[in-house]
Amino acid sequence: MAYGPKIIDHYENPRNVGTFGTQAEIKTRKDVGVGLVGAPECGDVMQLQIKVNPGTGVIEDAKFKCFGCGSAIASSSLATEWLKGRTLDDGMAIKNTQIVEELSLPPVKIHCSVLAEDAIRAAINDYKAKNGLPVAQEAAH
């Protein structure tokens, strides 16, 4: 598949790769929210982790790992860039269509942006649930 330069750039130089700890460690950390979405048999799994300042509710850091095609890697890499410095509500406002536009994702890869949006929501909701904040109920997709 011939990709545009932004996808290639994120794929070759992914931003914010990593985690804030193992799966077990993360579960006990109240300042970290995790979104793990997709499925191996579908060829895409994204894990997004956000570290939130409990005082301000601002996402101070974000990290990702991704098993998936170039578009999936680029979408999750971009998501971490966009999340850093946002409040939880602003993070929730990120839409998959914005990701599609920014990366010029080809039509057959739209689902990668949907998955990234799901991962963002899942991570924010995980943080909220851990901290007893009201969790947005609407089903994402």
Partner 1 sequence: MAVAPANQSIYLDNAATTPCDPRVVEAMLPYFTEKFGNPGSRNHRYGWESEEAVDQAREQVAALLGANEKEVIFTSGATESNNLAIKGAAYMYEKAPAGAGRCRGHIITGAIEHKAVLDPCKRLQKEGFEVTFLDAPPDGIFTAEMVRSAIREDTILVSMMWANNEIGTINEVPRIGALCHEREIVFHTDATQWAGKMPVNVEKDCIDLLSMSGHKIYGPKGVGALYVRRRKPRIRLQALVDGGGQERGFRPGTLNVTGIVGLGKAAELCRAEMDADGARLVKLRRTLEDSLVTQLDHCAINGHREKRLPHIANVSFGFVEGESLMMACKELAVSSGSACTSASLEPSYVLKGLGVGDELAHSSLRMSLGRFTRESDVAFAVEKIVGAVRKLRELSPLYDMHNEGIDLSKVEWGHH
The residues annotated with a catalytic role in the active site are: 42, 112
What residue spans of the chain are helical by DSSP H? 5-12, 23-28, 70-83, 88-92, 96-103, 110-130
CB 31 within 8 A of CB 52: yes
Regarding 37 and contact with partner 1 (CB under 8 A), the answer is: yes
Contacts of 66 (CB under 8 A, 6+ apart): 44, 45, 46, 47, 72, 73, 76, 77
Regarding 24 and contact with partner 1 (CB under 8 A), the answer is: yes
The stretch among 50-58, 61-69, 78-86, 92-100 that binds partner 1 (CB under 8 A) is: 61-69
Regarding 27 and contact with partner 1 (CB under 8 A), the answer is: no
Query: Which residue's CB is nearer to partner 1, number 121 or number 128?
Result: 121
- Amino acid type, 101: E
Site residues (vs partner 1, CB under 8 A): 1, 3, 11, 14, 17, 19, 22-24, 36-47, 65-70, 72-73, 108, 111, 114-115, 118, 141
